[in-house]
Amino acid sequence: MWSFSNIADSIHQWLNETFHPSVAVIFEMIIAGICVISLFAVLGLVLVLMERKVSAWIQIRMGPNRVGPKGMFQSVADTMKLLVKEGMTPSGADKFLFNLAPFIALVVAMLLMAPLAFAKNFQMWNVNIGVLYISAISSVSVISILIAGWSSNNKYSLMGAMRSGAQIVSYELSAGLSILSVVVLAGSLNLNTIIQSQADGWWIFKGHIPVIISFIIFIIAVTAETNRAPFDLAEAESELTAGFHTEYSGMKFALFFLAEYVNVFIVCAIGATLFFGGWMPFHIGHWQSFNHVMDFIPSSLWFFGKTFFLIFVIMWFRWTFPRLRIDQLLNLEWKYLLPISLFNILLVTAMAIAGWYF
């Protein structure tokens, strides 16, 4: 099965032959960092354009169609505008925390990239507790939002930050329980092991109705965690101007904007890995001929195809459903999603013990 592993192995071998092993490791980290930053830049441009095109398609209109062929360079033009725009800091703000908040948001997103397997044998960090690592690090993102809202010295920013804190902390529970259902079935927290457990079929199919319920809860919970509509109470334009980043402009605003879209990519990549096999091709049991044909499609295409499909679903949510009130948002989590998640994890555990899955 084709993957990026040959390129990675060649670079690793050349660095170890040319430099001392300790120096080679440092160079590998630098190369990995540059690749992640480059991926962030590309994702920001692609996902913003995709958002606009998807919204235009759903609303039966043209969308961006001026800059470049069919508006393909519109997001590049917007990036250039943000680069040259002056960054303002309110006079009453805590300047250090105000400037620190967007960097925390982006650093958290970069850390979450580490355990993701983008293709077969192509992963920055194969950690045994990959699922736990992702759950722990993703919860840190709320700190940047709270810092941004408080340090801005703006009542709308603070209110947006408090809403976001309540929202993210609440929906972390359902997201964690839905992820746990796959961990129980796979018997491991290692993302590679979870992917390998889907060699004869993805968990969304093998796990029957309980895993389908877990996936539905997961996609709702991560939409809320990333502050996407219809759960964008933290930046409700009609109420709070722009929420926690009301006072931000220029590149500091761009960092928050980029972190939001990168987080959408990350949660969809996690969903694709846990429920749809990650880079694993679509295999059906012991259908050797069919499985062999599926193996000809590069593993990286499987991974990005599944991830962008889930991104499309989340964007579809945004342009389909109206925004919830804050009381409706919290009621949905505490009165409906959490009890269903708790009952569902019992079903999955019983199913795993009894072996009632394919």
pLDDT-based confidence at residue 17 (cuts at 50, 70, 90) = confident
pLDDT more than 90, % of the chain? 34
**Would the pLDDT of 312 be above 90?**
yes
DSSP bridge pairs for 117: 123
Domain span including residue 223: 86-354
Spatial CA neighbour of 347 closest among 213, 206, 218, 200: 213
Is 28 within the bounds of a domain? no
Give the chain's mean pLDDT. 87
Q: Token pair for residue 126? A: 């194969």
pLDDT confidence of residue 112 = 92
pLDDT confidence of residue 1 = 44
Work out how many domains the chain is built from and give that number. 1
* SS3 (DSSP) at 304: helix
Question: Which of 95-104, 232-241, 306-315 is least confident?
Answer: 232-241
d(CA 111, CA 117): 14
122/316: higher pLDDT: 316
Is 34 within the bounds of a domain? no
pLDDT confidence of residue 242 = 67
Q: What is the mean pLDDT of residues 319-338?
A: 89
Q: Kind and range of the H or E element at 117?
A: strand 117-119
**pLDDT, tens only, 137-169:** 988 888 888 898 889 888 888 888 888 888 888
Q: What is the pTM of this model?
A: 0.91
Is 265 within the bounds of a domain? yes
Is 33 within the bounds of a domain? no
Is 54 within the bounds of a domain? no
Is 346 within the bounds of a domain? yes
247/302: higher pLDDT: 302
Q: Token pair for residue 151? A: 């340090």
Is 203 within the bounds of a domain? yes
**pLDDT, tens only, 167-217:** 888 899 999 999 999 999 998 999 999 999 988 889 998 888 999 999 999
Cβ-based burial of 251 (10 A; exposed 0-12, middle 13-18, buried ≥19):
middle
Taking the CA atoms of residue 255, residue 258, residue 259 and residue 260 in that order, the dihedral angle to the nearest 10 degrees is 130
DSSP conformation letters of 128-149: TTHHHHHHHHHTTHHHHHHHHH
Question: Which of 5-14, 76-85, 172-181, 345-354 is least confident?
Answer: 5-14
Is 138 within the bounds of a domain? yes
Q: What is the mean pLDDT of residues 52-66?
A: 90
Distances (CA, A) of 266 to 34, 65, 226, 263, 308: 18, 29, 10, 5, 11
Helix 250-275 to helix 74-84 angle, to the nearest 10 degrees? 140
